[in-house]
Amino acid sequence: MTLEANELEFDYSKYGFRQEENYVFKSGKGLSEAVVRELSMMKGEPEWMLKRRLQALAIFYKKPTPLDGAWGNPDLASLNYDDIHYFVRAGDKPASDWDAVPEEIKNTFERLGIPEAERKFLAGVGAQYESEVVYHSLREEWSKRGVIFLDTDSALREQPEMFKQYFGTIIPSADNKYAALNTAVWSGGSFVYVPKGVHVDIPLQAYFRINAENMGQFERTLIIIDEGASAHYIEGCTAPQYSTNSLHSAVVEIVVKKGGKFRYTTIQNWANNIFNLVTKRAVAFEDASMEWVDGNIGSKLTMKYPSVYLMGRGARGEVLSVAYAGKGQHQDAGAKMVHNAPDTTSVITNKSVSKGGGKTTYRGLVKVHPGATGSKINVNCDALILDNLSKSDTIPYIEVEEANVTLAHEATVGRIGEEQLFYLMSRGISQAEAMSMIVLGFMEPFTRELPMEYAVELNRLIQLEMEGSVG
């Protein structure tokens, strides 16, 4: 029995529709100081933010595209920075009333099920279309308790002090080329503040949509979980398929203070021609807990390594991620855990599936600094390669500068066992169905962590991707 990959075209009927481009403003292609100045002016930003943007732009120009080296990727060579629109404004300002959202955009999000989801199970919703957030709402019960959930542009105006205190402190512009690019041209994203002791027990959600061709989306998210507070934030991303590439380069900064708990869940389903180059980092203080739940199904190339800096005694970090790479895709994802305090714990679980010529890379860092005694680290990476065209790399970096540490790393790579397949098929299940079941089972530790609606959606997406996977 041999397993062969078919040429597989993903069914984008649900996400693949395009809306007319009917924009209030669209910058020309390419990046320049003038583009940054104009963007900042249109947003009516304070002087310090413009300065920050211009400094970051200089850093972006200076840093080479990371094609090689420890965190480089040669696939980045095909990304053309001059062919991208850096700022597209679709509406005048974010509406908090769904009816006030422009018709075409409303259509988009209704087809994606956004307001419906909000009614059902969410505490708050943000929806970003191209560069800016077009709709934003938070249930009254939470705003009454001091929870702030805003689009990031509004937060800069309405929460200037807290904004300035944290912005760029977790991920400075010079962190990497794409963090610099984001800082220069950021627009949209979410700002969340949960006050001391408040538990937001149903999720907050943001939905990101790219519609225009050659669009660059650079949302910027800043989340502060105060002492003893807790929350769960979910983001989803989609875009229609175009023949040329688009770029999504987000920066997400998170602070979880003493005893706080936060979970950040991403289901990334960008179209297969989007470069998804994202920097996500959290700092967790004493007894705080930070969890990244990260699913990467779409995009042409994703490079994303959600990080937790464990800064206080007893802090805990977790990254649970899955990646699925089909034809023409490279999912280069992983995690970073930096132990800076005693008795800190981190867990990384990564599952990846490659198929039809796709490539998955797990890249991760575990760093234990001197003084982080009693740290416990567990890393598990499992890769499944479904056919002979596909590839998988595992590149874990482990740096231990402390003796009193328990660190275990385990990785496996393999194919679907013929015995497993035979067993299922002997019970009358078709080969395609059997493979799909095995892949879903392989990813189950991830899907069971998602809210039900998302788990069902993810399983459906994977089943779609798996269709026609048997020759």
Instruction: Identify the residue among 238, 394, 447, 469 touching other proteins (CB under 8 A).
Output: 394
Does 395 contact other proteins by CB under 8 A? Answer: yes
Q: Which is nearer to other proteins, 37 or 409 (CB)?
A: 409
Give the SS3 label for residue 409.
Answer: strand
Task: At 159, list the tokens.
Answer: 């929460």
The least distance separating other proteins from the CB of residue 243, rounded to whole angstroms, comes to: 29
Tell me the per-residue interface mask from 401 to 440 with other proteins, x by CB under 8 A, - otherwise. Answer: xxxxxxxxxxxxxxx-------------------------
Distance CA 43, CA 47 (A): 12
The least distance separating other proteins from the CB of residue 401, rounded to whole angstroms, comes to: 5
Contact 212, 21 (CB under 8 A): yes
Which residues are CB-neighbours of 401 under 8 A, at least 6 positions away?
368, 369, 370
Closest C-alpha among 80, 79, 186, 183 to residue 131:
186
The least distance separating other proteins from the CB of residue 71, rounded to whole angstroms, comes to: 11
Angle, alpha carbons 105-106-110 (nearest 5°): 120
For 27, which DSSP code? P
The least distance separating other proteins from the CB of residue 172, rounded to whole angstroms, comes to: 22
Contact 45, 159 (CB under 8 A): no
Q: Which is nearer to other proteins, 2 or 13 (CB)?
A: 2
Give the SS3 label for residue 367.
Answer: strand
Q: Which is nearer to other proteins, 11 or 68 (CB)?
A: 68
Stretch that binds other proteins, among 102-110, 223-231, 249-257, 378-386 (CB under 8 A): 378-386
Q: Which is nearer to other proteins, 192 or 383 (CB)?
A: 383
Stretch that binds other proteins, among 133-141, 163-171, 209-217, 379-387 (CB under 8 A): 379-387
Q: Which is nearer to other proteins, 328 or 370 (CB)?
A: 370
The least distance separating other proteins from the CB of residue 372, rounded to whole angstroms, comes to: 10
Residues of this chain, 52-111, that bind other proteins according to CB under 8 A? 68-70
The least distance separating other proteins from the CB of residue 329, rounded to whole angstroms, comes to: 16
Alpha helices in 192-269 (DSSP H): none
Phi, psi values for residue 370, rounded to 5°:
-55, 140
Q: Which is nearer to other proteins, 162 or 400 (CB)?
A: 400
The least distance separating other proteins from the CB of residue 407, rounded to whole angstroms, comes to: 4
The least distance separating other proteins from the CB of residue 421, rounded to whole angstroms, comes to: 13
Q: Which is nearer to other proteins, 127 or 439 (CB)?
A: 439
Q: Which is nearer to other proteins, 221 or 394 (CB)?
A: 394
Instruction: Identify the residue among 29, 164, 196, 391 touching other proteins (CB under 8 A).
Output: 391
The least distance separating other proteins from the CB of residue 389, rounded to whole angstroms, comes to: 9
Q: How many residues bind other proteins (CB under 8 A)?
A: 37
Residue 255 bridge partners (DSSP): 224, 283
The least distance separating other proteins from the CB of residue 377, rounded to whole angstroms, comes to: 8
Distance CA 251, CA 217 (A): 11
Distance CA 306, CA 326 (A): 22
The least distance separating other proteins from the CB of residue 465, rounded to whole angstroms, comes to: 16
Task: At 447, list the tokens.
Answer: 């899907």
Contact 224, 190 (CB under 8 A): no
Distance CA 182, CA 276 (A): 12
Instruction: Identify the residue among 75, 83, 213, 393 touching other proteins (CB under 8 A).
Output: 393
* Neighbouring C-beta atoms of residue 199, cutoff 10 Å: 11
Contact 58, 182 (CB under 8 A): no
Positions of E strands within 54-163: 88-89, 124-129, 132-138, 148-151
Does 211 contact other proteins by CB under 8 A? Answer: no
Closest C-alpha among 232, 203, 42 to residue 131:
42
Does 213 contact other proteins by CB under 8 A? Answer: no
Q: Which is nearer to other proteins, 33 or 401 (CB)?
A: 401
Instruction: Identify the residue among 36, 192, 310, 383 touching other proteins (CB under 8 A).
Output: 383
Which residues are CB-neighbours of 213 under 8 A, at least 6 positions away?
242, 243, 244, 246
Residues of this chain, 353-372, that bind other proteins according to CB under 8 A? 370
The least distance separating other proteins from the CB of residue 396, rounded to whole angstroms, comes to: 6
Q: Which is nearer to other proteins, 54 or 411 (CB)?
A: 411
Task: At 306, list the tokens.
Answer: 């959600």
Q: Which residues of 278-300 are buried (b: 16+ CB within 10 A; e: fewer)?
A: bbbbbbbbbbbbbbbbbbbbbbb
Q: Which is nearer to other proteins, 225 or 381 (CB)?
A: 381
Contact 248, 279 (CB under 8 A): no
Instruction: Identify the residue among 396, 424, 431, 440 touching other proteins (CB under 8 A).
Output: 396
Q: Which residues bind other proteins (CB under 8 A)?
A: 3, 68-70, 370, 373, 383, 385-388, 390-415
